[in-house]
Structure 1
Amino acid sequence: MHKVENLKMWQKSIKLTKAVYTLISDVSPDEKYGLKSQIKRSAVSIPSNIAEGAGRNSQKEFQHFLSIANGSSYELQTQLILLVELNLVDKNKVQPVIELCIEIQKMNYSFQKTLKPQY
C-alpha cells in the first residue's frame, strides 16, 4: 500500500499531536479525565487512523480509515474551540493548532479524492 512515513498529512498529523500535547500541558490537572483526556485521544486518533489505513489491503479500506481520521480532526477542532470558550487556554495559543488541524482536514479530503476503490 502506502508507506505512511512518506505521507505529508501523516507527518503533519504527528506535528499536530505534539502541538496538542504541548498546548494542553498547562491546562488544570482537574481536567485530566475530562476535556484534556478527550483532546489527547482525538489528536492521537488522527495519525493512528492514517497509519492503520495505509497498512490495509485495499484503497477502499484506506479511504475508510482516512474518513475516521478526518472525523477525529473535526472532533479535535471542536474541542480546541471549547478550550478557548471555557477560558482554559488563550485563543492566541490555540489558533495555530486549529489552523494546522484545518490544513490536515483539507489534505485528507484532497487525498481521498485521488484514491479509487478497487473492486
Structure 2
Amino acid sequence: MLLVKLTYEASAAFPKAELFGLTSQMRRAAISVPSNIAEGVAGSSTREYAHFLSIARGSLNELDTQMEIAGMLGLLPQTHDIFQQLDRTFRLLNGLQSSIKKKLES
C-alpha cells in the first residue's frame, strides 16, 4: 500500500503530457499489486492464491520497469524513496510466494 502512495506522489510531479502515458501506467501497475494479493487471499484455495500472487508479481515487475523509464527520462531521481520501497515489496512478495509454494508442495 505504501508503494501505491509513493507512486501517486512521485507521478504527481510528472508533466501533464504524461498523464495518459507513464503516469497512468505506473498508477495502474502499483494499484494492481495489493489488489491482486487481496483477491488471492479472498480466494477459495491455496492454488488460486498462488495464481494471484503471480499476477501481483507481474504488476510489480511492470512498475519496476516504468520507474526505471521515468528515471531515464529524468522524471524521477534514482534516489527517490520509491526505489527502496520497490525493493522491499519485491522481497516481501518473494517471501510470500515461497511460503505458498511450500504449502502447495506439502
User: TM-score, normalising length from structure 1?
Assistant: 0.81
Q: Which runs of 5 or more structure 1 residues have no equivalent in the other structure?
A: 1-13
Per-residue displacement from partner, 1:39-68 (whole Å, max 9, x unpaired)? 000000000000000000000000110111
Residues of 2 paired with 1:108 and 1:89: CA distance? 24
Give, in angstroms, the shift of residue 17 of structure 1: 0.1
Pairwise CA distance, 1:101: 1.3
Which amino acid is the alignment partner of residue 91 of structure 2? K
2:87 to 102, 105, 111: 102
**Alignment: residue pair count:** 104
Q: CA RMSD in A?
A: 1.6
Q: Is the 8 A contact 1:58 1:117 kept in 2?
A: no
Q: Which deviates more, 97-106 or 31-40?
A: 97-106
Task: Please give the per-residue CA displacement for 1:75-98, whole angstroms capped at 9, x wherever unaligned.
Answer: 1011011111011222222xx212
| 2:96 matched residue in structure 1 | 111
1:58 maps to: 45
Q: Secondary structure at the match of 2:96?
A: helix
Counterpart in 1 of 2:60?
73
1:7-22 to structure 2, matched below 5 A, reads: 14-22=1-9
